[in-house]
Structure 1
Amino acid sequence: MTIPSSIDETVDLLARGNYVADRSLATVIFLALKMGRPLLLEGEAGVGKTEIAKVLADALGRRLIRLQCYEGLDTGAAVYEWNYQAQMIEIRLAEAEGVEDRTELGKDVFSERFLIRRPILQALEPAIEGPPVLLIDELDRTDEPFEAYLLEVLSDFQVSVPEIGTIKAGHPPIVIVTSNRTREIHDALKRRCLYHWVDYPDAERELAILKLKAPATPEKLSRDIVAFVQKLRAMDLYKNPGIAETIDWAQALTALDAVALDRQSVNDTLGALLKYQDDIARVSGSEAARILEEIRMAARAAD
């Protein structure tokens, strides 16, 4: 499938993948696709940054290549490495056959047939269905030297392999870079990307997401869940619940045949919504009862 030709088509493309995007997010995605620029998405964990790359790959019929970042990530795991075992076998076979030209042997064992392609190099290869979607997930978890290495990849869509030369993409991949902002991404990398901050959704959009992702949840329960979660995000919790946790909570409550929130159901299932004991201890009990009462009062006022 070809890339969308307008912002409205981008909204529709995301909607077909069950992703509810606001217009500002759809606009920056459209521009990244249209301009062939990498897109840096920052935001709290669980707001749907990674899902964007998955939806784009599925909707466009492209291969999704995911590079999950972590501390200590290097080019051997992210870009390429040599198949040393196969190289040693080749050298021993050549020696057994009496090959004496070490220069030619060196050129042979450091040829592309011994090159193991990791995610970034895979993303530069041509594909029948079109350039793949390269997801560089949670870049903030890596070290700064690897971030610096990415500058060549994100600016010229090429990788330098000393033994072979430069490998350049014929058609640039669609690159989505995500960061949870546990540390600042360097300005040099940001300059190579379009940027968007993915925020928590408002109540209306979160309810729409819940209807798509947890359709079995009763309408009243869905509204209670969204109202409760929205109020939690206004508190000073250690980790606010993301959209993923909202969906998990809705599915957990539905599995327990709940039709509306009450104090007991909240206290019994907070572990599906909050992931730190201090947050659970703070919300459960009287605080949960207070929030539920506020939700009921708001509902009566709306009626």
Structure 2
Amino acid sequence: MRQRWFSSPDDAAERLRAAGYLADTATATTTFLTGALEKPLLLEGPAGVGKTELAKAVARACGADLVRLQCYEGLDEARALYEWNYKKQLLRIQAAGGDQDWSSTHDDIFDEEFLLTRPLLTAIRREEPTVLLIDEVDKTDVEVEGLLLEVLSDFQVTIPELGTITATCRPFVVLTSNATRELSEAVKRRCLYLHLDYPDLEREREIVMGQVPEVDEAVARQVVEVVGRLRDLDLKKAPSIAETIDWARTLVALEIGDLDEAAVVATLGAVLKHASDLDKAVRELKAHRRTR
């Protein structure tokens, strides 16, 4: 069954906006093509630019369920695809006693009843519209990419005991990467590609105003300008878009109508989460104000 996700790039942009995600032309076009061509989308870029949020917005915009595989070092097939419920299988073997030969017992315990599905298999088996988010794929070991190839190319999973399970309704697949390591060409070849970076000041102001409508427009502009300067510093962790939004919410909660030096110092913890970053930012921002 073929799922129609978006009718055009303009439709994608409009519906993503309604779902709370402001997509530029390249993002809207690539999102449309991901659904139209039924190819996975590889989103690459620094942490906090909205890669994961795009997948969530597609799910909201299309009324689809989101299935998320959070990648990490040490992730294996049992956590990504499936595993057998060994305890339950053992109980079945013990209950059967010596009444069955091994061939019958084998067929009995390697059955759907004993299968524990993980995110990749769950998304493949679903008959409803599904967005499969494979988040931070660059954090996995290289070997894990091999597990993804069958899913990304044919949208199917092979279980030796049960056979090949093929998707009846192909999921909308989004892989995100912070580019901490280079992904294999085999994975890249199966995907559409989009690099997301921090938005320009005007677009980030729009995002802030959309997410925090109660913030004063002038304050929102001050926030994104300061965040832009922070991102130019050599920090351990540059502020994400989500942290820009958190800062705006903080100022609203404190009823601060002007982001002056005192307000910055008092609330900068909403944006920066390392002591060394806070010290560096305060020094640089004070120096910037003195030179104005």
Same fold (TM over 0.5): yes
Identity score, percent: 49
* Mapping 1:220-235, distance limit 5 Å: 220-235=218-233
What CA distance in whole angstroms lies between the structure 1 residues aligned with 2:70 and 2:225? 33
What CA distance in whole angstroms lies between the structure 2 residues aligned with 1:105 and 1:212? 59
Q: Which residue of 2 aligns with 1:300?
A: none
Q: Which residue of 2 aligns with 1:268?
A: 266
What CA distance in whole angstroms lies between the structure 1 residues aligned with 2:277 and 2:167? 47
Amino acid aligned to 2:140: T
User: 1:2: Cα distance to partner?
Assistant: 4.1
- SS of the equivalent of 1:177 reads strand
Alignment equivalent of 1:83, drawn from 74, 82, 85: 85
* Mapping 1:64-83, distance limit 5 Å: 64-83=66-85
**Preserved contact between residue 91 and residue 105 of structure 1 (Cα < 8 Å):** yes
* Mapping 1:152-163, distance limit 5 Å: 152-163=150-161
Per-residue Cα deviation, 1:213-272 (whole angstroms, up to 9, x for no partner): 111211111111111111222233332211011011111122111101111111111111
User: 1:113: Cα distance to partner?
Assistant: 1.6
Quick check: 235-244 or 11-20, which moved more? 235-244
Per-residue Cα deviation, 1:116-157 (whole angstroms, up to 9, x for no partner): 111110001132xx3310000000111111112211111111
Q: Which residue of 1 aligns with 2:99?
A: 99
Alignment equivalent of 1:149, drawn from 137, 147, 158: 147
Q: Which residue of 2 aligns with 1:246?
A: 244
Q: Which residue of 2 aligns with 1:38?
A: 40
What CA distance in whole angstroms lies between the structure 2 residues aligned with 1:247 and 1:126? 34
What CA distance in whole angstroms lies between the structure 2 residues aligned with 1:218 and 1:290? 26
What CA distance in whole angstroms lies between the structure 1 residues aligned with 2:41 and 2:252? 36
Q: Which residue of 2 aligns with 1:289?
A: 286
Q: Which residue of 2 aligns with 1:256?
A: 254
What CA distance in whole angstroms lies between the structure 1 residues aligned with 2:137 and 2:36? 24
What CA distance in whole angstroms lies between the structure 2 residues aligned with 1:206 and 1:114? 48
* Mapping 1:46-61, distance limit 5 Å: 46-61=48-63
What CA distance in whole angstroms lies between the structure 1 residues aligned with 2:154 and 2:201? 41
Q: Which residue of 2 aligns with 1:277?
A: 275
**Preserved contact between residue 42 and residue 49 of structure 1 (Cα < 8 Å):** yes
What CA distance in whole angstroms lies between the structure 2 residues aligned with 1:70 and 1:54? 20
* Mapping 1:164-183, distance limit 5 Å: 164-183=162-181
Q: Which residue of 1 aligns with 2:131?
A: 133
**Preserved contact between residue 2 and residue 60 of structure 1 (Cα < 8 Å):** no
**Preserved contact between residue 25 and residue 196 of structure 1 (Cα < 8 Å):** yes
**Preserved contact between residue 262 and residue 292 of structure 1 (Cα < 8 Å):** no
**Preserved contact between residue 4 and residue 35 of structure 2 (Cα < 8 Å):** no
1:214 aligns with 2:216: no
Amino acid aligned to 1:173: P
Amino acid aligned to 2:134: I
* Mapping 1:187-206, distance limit 5 Å: 187-206=185-204
What CA distance in whole angstroms lies between the structure 2 residues aligned with 1:109 and 1:147? 29
Matched residues, number: 290
- SS of the equivalent of 2:116 reads strand
What CA distance in whole angstroms lies between the structure 2 residues aligned with 1:273 and 1:119? 32
What CA distance in whole angstroms lies between the structure 2 residues aligned with 1:142 and 1:203? 33
- SS of the equivalent of 1:18 reads coil
Amino acid aligned to 2:232: A
What CA distance in whole angstroms lies between the structure 2 residues aligned with 1:25 and 1:157? 23
**TM-score normalised to the size of structure 1?**
0.92
Per-residue Cα deviation, 1:131-184 (whole angstroms, up to 9, x for no partner): 310000000111111112211111111111122221111221110000111111
What CA distance in whole angstroms lies between the structure 2 residues aligned with 1:115 and 1:211? 47
What CA distance in whole angstroms lies between the structure 2 residues aligned with 1:43 and 1:168? 31
**TM-score normalised to the size of structure 2?**
0.95
What CA distance in whole angstroms lies between the structure 2 residues aligned with 1:40 and 1:252? 33
- SS of the equivalent of 2:262 reads helix
